[in-house]
Structure 1
Amino acid sequence: MLVAALAVLFALAPAGPGLADSAKGIGSPGIGSPAIDLPADVPPVRFGGPEALEIATRGGVRSFDVELAVDEAQRARGLMYRRSLPAGRGMLFDFGAERDVAMWMQNTYVSLDMVFIRSDGRIARVAERATPLSTATISSGEPVRFVLELPAGTARALGIAAGDQVAHRLIGR
């Protein structure tokens, strides 16, 4: 499930826990079996997951299955080159420590909502409907540890907003 996503535009910190061994590889049927069309010179990247993630909103708890991007290669690739991202799916980026984060949509064919999350799981900011293939940076606006990418329109449709609480095994530890 490689929805074309964001490349990270800052110096990445030490890699997070290695989850690649349990990951779905490029070309294998990942979340929703999306079409992936990697250019010949682009190596495949394996991601962790999918795993359950929940967001407590004013309207109730929202559940997702997310792939994990925890090391430098995974974070740099993100959802690039993917042609779809099904509802209820996403990718959680873990940067290992709180920092200012800037993302972009280069080589990302599907519009995304980006949810910027502090170490304690509180949502700091939601950037809705990022423009596919854009190299414009999308900033966290403050130090965050995580970014959750979801299909465009998900945040508005489900009432996901700043201040909501995200629960996942990597968050809050």
Structure 2
Amino acid sequence: MRYILSALALTVVFLSTGGAGYAECRADTVYLRGDWGQARFSVDVADTFETQSRGLMFVEDMPLSKGMLFVYDRPKSLSFWMRNTLIPLDMVFVDPFGVVKHVHSNAIPHDLTPIHGGDGLVAVLEINGGLAKQLGITVGSEMRHPSFVKSLAAWPC
């Protein structure tokens, strides 16, 4: 099973020199890059109170190249929990520049313990549990998405 997960995880990584660096920015796609390489995820964007409140609750399974991007209109302190969440998730907390500030790995389904990502955050990417570590996504990685102000973004659209 671990071998299958590893092989599938590699399908979201761009190893070519063009890769995500030249792709068009779209609301339904998130790109990440770092010393480890690049990755792309198709995302559902949660940018309203209703979509953020529901998040990935009740989702029974999610493709490895899929995720949910929570977007906030101003920097704030963010904490998440796993209420009614059926699958383990990694949470990637991001600042206004699109820089990863914290990665929480393998959040436990149904756990009500708050997962604090830090202060001054504007986005959180939720992906399948264990995938961030497998891909190498760490603090300092950069995210590319149209929700980041172009003039501030470390990796602008």
Q: Quote the offset at 1:50 in angstroms.
A: 7.1
Q: Quote the offset at 1:142 in angstroms.
A: 2.2
Gaps of 5+ in 2: 1-25, 151-157
Contact 1:50 1:65 in 2 (8 A): no
Please give the residue correspondences for 1:82-161 in structure 2 after superposition, counting only pairs within 5 Å: 82-161=59-138
User: 1:69 is matched with which residue: 33, 36, 46?
Assistant: 46
Identical residues among aligned pairs (%): 30
Structure 1 length as normaliser, TM-score?
0.70
Aligned residue for 1:36? none
Aligned residue for 2:16? none
Amino acid at match of 1:88: S
Structure 2: how far apart are the matches of 1:120 and 1:109? Answer: 31
Amino acid at match of 2:85: T
Amino acid at match of 2:119: E
Count of residue pairs brought into register by the alignment = 125
Cα deviation, 1:77-116, whole Å, max 9, x if unaligned, reads 0000110011011000011111001100000000000000
1:79 and 2:56 aligned:
yes
Structure 2 length as normaliser, TM-score?
0.77
Structure 2: how far apart are the matches of 1:85 and 1:130? Answer: 15
- Structure having the higher strand fraction is 2
Contact 1:55 1:167 in 2 (8 A): yes
Q: Quote the offset at 1:172 in angstroms.
A: 2.9
Contact 1:124 1:142 in 2 (8 A): no
Cα deviation, 1:119-172, whole Å, max 9, x if unaligned, reads 110000000000000100000122200000000011001000001100011123
Gaps of 5+ in 1: 1-48
Please give the residue correspondences for 1:40-59 in structure 2 after superposition, counting only pairs within 5 Å: 51-59=28-36
- Structure having the higher helix fraction is 2
